[in-house]
Amino acid sequence: MPVVLTVIAILLLCSGLAIYYAITVSLYFRFKKSHKTYISASIFASCWTLAELARAEFFTGFPWGAIGYAHVDSILVTFAPWVGVYGIGWVAAYMSACIASSLSNLKQDKKITKNLGISIAVLLFMVVPWQVNTSSDAKNFSVSLLQGNIAQDLKYTKLREQAVQWYVEKAVQAETDLVVMPETAIAYLRQDIPNEEWQKISTHFSEGQNALIVGIPTYEKDKGFGNSAIALKANAQEYLYNKQHLVPFGEFIPKYFQWFNQMVNFGITDFIRGPLKPEPFVWHGQNLAIQICYEDLFGEELAQRFMVEKEKIPSLLVNMSNIAWFGNTVVIPQHLHIARMRSIELNRPTIRATNSGGTAIIDASGKIQAVAKPYTQTVLVGNVPASDGRVTWFAQWAGRWGLLPMWVFCSAIVLGFAVTGTRLRSATQSH
């Protein structure tokens, strides 16, 4: 019975996410006939973007698969530091609508060559590989990124002790400035870790010349469980980061679905939710902005970390992920694309330590400097090219107002042209 209910829940989730597009596209077809091609394309792009914004924010949000990510290697990515992934999505949707309209009118329009030429030119503009360039004289930062490749169904079995031993061994052997383990790399609660293993890394990094960030579940008596990261460095207390943007039905149960949790018996309790603007982990002059897995889908939330005192502005993004849940699927390259987009939006390099794939070093322009072979147990060692330190326009407006400016822009276009079209039809009918 629980399996059946889970399948039904997934189908309902997919249907719910599709409703956003159904509603907004119906709005487009309601108003498009009243206007010329370029106006109609603007309405379509705005309707589509409104659907993506709704999907990204309503009911905690699920922004995976926004069309802007498809353009991380196209010339459209140059818009990312200005308008972010949803702004890119608007431009892509606008161009696509123009192409579709041009091609659909070929039979009626005698200027076939002109229309085809424009359509092909726009299409090439969208797909030709492109790279944003950044430069900096800042010192590079050496890292070791650990990829354990532990199967999810074995992670909490007897294999976890072997996994911990491997992670600890590789961490203490590393000679780089920073060592990063993936999300829940140590599959023990903080207080349940075998003493000898934790003592090894605790002693090593409290006395050594490098630092460690480790993904680990935590528990506080008065607060509950946390999907956490602990950072260790010399002459400092442990740094604790708790995941802020939790996964629905995985790390918390939405308010109106407690009945479903009781019926299916997930056994899930709400995890500790960290602050939206946590203190950075500071090491070797770098302000490290840690995110755990799903959190890097929300560029507008990461942007808020830039709205702090100048000395606390992030200089390096650190993502720790465990996507072994999804096996050998497109999730790994998709998540890597998302991380690249975050780097471009925020003009900051990203390092990713993952359990099964997508472990990589990404520069501030979104270019992959080094990547580990997926589904292997390995350590990726490399240098992180620093950014020029500029805070992008996207970081500034999204950090202050979130996605509200995009909501206002798209809504204004739809409502404005809708009113205009209604008036034009009324005037035409009256004559």
* Claim to verify: residue 247 and residue 314 sit in the same structural domain: yes
Of the listed 183, 251, 295, 301, which one is catalytic? 183
* Boundaries of domain holding 57: 2-132+405-430
In what order do the strands lie in the sheet containing 281-283? 281-283, 286-292, 316-321, 350-354, 360-362, 368-371
pLDDT at 90 over 90: yes
* Claim to verify: residue 147 and residue 91 sit in the same structural domain: no
Q: Is residue 394 part of a domain?
A: no
* Claim to verify: residue 268 and residue 145 sit in the same structural domain: yes
pLDDT at 356 over 60: yes
Task: Count up the domains in the chain and report the number.
Answer: 2
* Claim to verify: residue 15 and residue 82 sit in the same structural domain: yes
Q: Is residue 399 part of a domain?
A: no
Of the listed 52, 98, 155, 293, which one is catalytic? 293
Q: Which single residue is written with the structure tokens 């106006």?
A: 39
pLDDT of residue 265: 58
pLDDT band of 70, cuts 50, 70, 90: very high
Report the CATH number at residue 318: 3.60.110.10
* Claim to verify: residue 271 and residue 308 sit in the same structural domain: yes
Tens-place pLDDT, residues 138-177:
457 899 999 998 877 666 667 778 888 899 999 999 999 9
pLDDT band of 17, cuts 50, 70, 90: confident
The verdict on whether 114 is a catalytic residue reads no
Q: Is residue 396 part of a domain?
A: no
* Claim to verify: residue 250 and residue 115 sit in the same structural domain: no
Q: Is residue 151 part of a domain?
A: yes
Tokens at 352, concatenated = 């990713």
How far is 307 from 398, CA to CA, in rounded Å? 10
Q: Is residue 228 part of a domain?
A: yes
The verdict on whether 111 is a catalytic residue reads no
Tens-place pLDDT, residues 373-400:
999 999 999 999 888 889 999 999 999 9
pLDDT of residue 46: 93
The verdict on whether 57 is a catalytic residue reads no
Q: Is residue 90 part of a domain?
A: yes
* Claim to verify: residue 234 and residue 364 sit in the same structural domain: yes
* Claim to verify: residue 423 and residue 289 sit in the same structural domain: no
* Share of residues in the chain with pLDDT > 70 (%): 77
* Claim to verify: residue 14 and residue 120 sit in the same structural domain: yes
Q: Is residue 393 part of a domain?
A: no
- 3-state secondary structure string across the chain: CHHHHHHHHHHHHHHHHHHHHHHHHHHHHHHHHHCCHHHHHHHHHHHHHHHHHHHHHHHHCCCCCCHHHHHCCEHHHHHHHHHHHHHHHHHHHHHHHHHHHHHHCCCCCCCHHHHHHHHHHHHHHHHCECCCCCCCCCCCEEEEEEECCCCCCCCCCCHHHHHHHHHHHHHHHCCCCEEECCCCCCCCCHHHCCHHHHHHHHHHHHHCCCEEEEEEEEEECCCEEEEEEEEECCCCCCEEEECCCCCECCCECCHHHHHHHHHHCCCCCCCCCCCCCCCCEEECCEEEEEEEHHHHHCHHHHHHHHCCCHHHCCCEEEEEECCHHHCCCCHHHHHHHHHHHHHHHHCCCEEEEECCCCCEEECCCCCEEEECCCCCCEEEEEEECCCCCCCCHHHHHHHHHCCHHHHHHHHHHHHHHHHHHHHHHHHHHHC
* Claim to verify: residue 84 and residue 53 sit in the same structural domain: yes
* Claim to verify: residue 242 and residue 94 sit in the same structural domain: no
Q: Is residue 109 part of a domain?
A: yes
Of the listed 32, 155, 170, 243, which one is catalytic? 243
* Claim to verify: residue 174 and residue 123 sit in the same structural domain: no
